């Protein structure tokens, strides 16, 4: 959806019968509130509820809506005594999806793909001390944790990590409009439209309008637009 059309739709949802009540919004403010709305929408879809098949991949609808945000990146670093700690997570990282690792043993040249399960940092020591659940090259299983904006893949001195690939949901690309002036007076260097499908863009604009209505104390518009955006999720 073109930026000029997205901004026009935002005004239409806010103005009362073309009364121009909200014409005092600056161009950069319109883009900023749409950026905030699309981030809120993304976080809500990723959280979801598995009970109602509303998690990030619990239905074909969610897969179709969110696959555009999936990224794959190889994370490099070095093996330590008990774990492999990666470099910092990508700057556009939003939410963890999975880690795929390739491992080897010093006494064996054969490399092997290892299933890696994300666990909480609090549970890591318990799992490492459990013979049936601890990292095992033979069974092709290990655990990982998120710590200090990095991924720790636990090896328990049983094997070494050769390659680590992170699948993650990235942040949605922020809107930029070459016809707008930024809040600091600078000009955008490139154009960036809403990258989601037009039907999702409509939902995001409804949510953006509800944010503006709430900020400006328009309770009627806020409730109406909020119900519309929630109903469409």
Kindly state the greatest CA–CA separation across the chain. 77
pLDDT average per 10 residues of sequence, the chain (233 residues): 84 62 76 92 78 65 89 90 92 94 87 93 90 90 94 91 94 91 84 91 89 71 56 52
Span 43-52, pLDDT tens digits? 988 875 555 5
CB 34 within 8 A of CB 194: yes
Q: How many CB atoms lie within 10 A of CB 223?
A: 13
Question: Considering Cα of 166, then 51, then 41, then 12, what sign does the dihedral take?
Answer: positive
Q: Which two tokens stand for residue 98?
A: 């999975």
For the chain, count helices (H), then strands (E): 6, 8
């Amino acid at each position: 959806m073109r930026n000029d059309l997205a901004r026009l739709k935002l005004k239409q949802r806010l103005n009362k019968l073309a009364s121009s009540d909200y014409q005092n919004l600056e161009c950069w403010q319109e883009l900023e509130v749409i950026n905030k709305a699309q981030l809120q929408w993304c976080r809500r879809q990723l959280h979801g509820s598995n009970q109602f098949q509303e998690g990030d991949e619990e239905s074909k609808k969610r897969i179709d809506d969110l696959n555009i945000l999936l990224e794959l990146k190889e994370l490099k670093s070095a093996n330590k005594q008990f774990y492999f700690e990666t470099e910092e997570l990508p700057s556009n990282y939003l939410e963890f999806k999975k880690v795929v690792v390739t491992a080897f043993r010093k006494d064996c040249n054969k490399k092997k793909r290892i299933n890696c399960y994300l666990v909480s940092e609090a549970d890591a020591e318990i799992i490492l001390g459990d013979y049936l659940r601890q990292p095992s090259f033979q069974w092709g299983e290990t655990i990982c944790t998120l710590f200090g904006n990095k991924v720790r893949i636990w090896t328990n001195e049983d094997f070494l990590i050769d390659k680590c690939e992170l699948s993650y949901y990235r942040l949605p690309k922020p809107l930029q409009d070459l016809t707008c002036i930024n809040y600091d007076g600078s000009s955008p260097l490139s154009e960036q439209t809403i990258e989601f499908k037009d039907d999702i863009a409509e939902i995001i604009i409804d949510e953006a309008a509800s944010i503006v209505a709430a900020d400006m104390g328009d309770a009627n518009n806020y409730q109406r637009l909020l119900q519309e955006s929630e109903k469409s999720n």
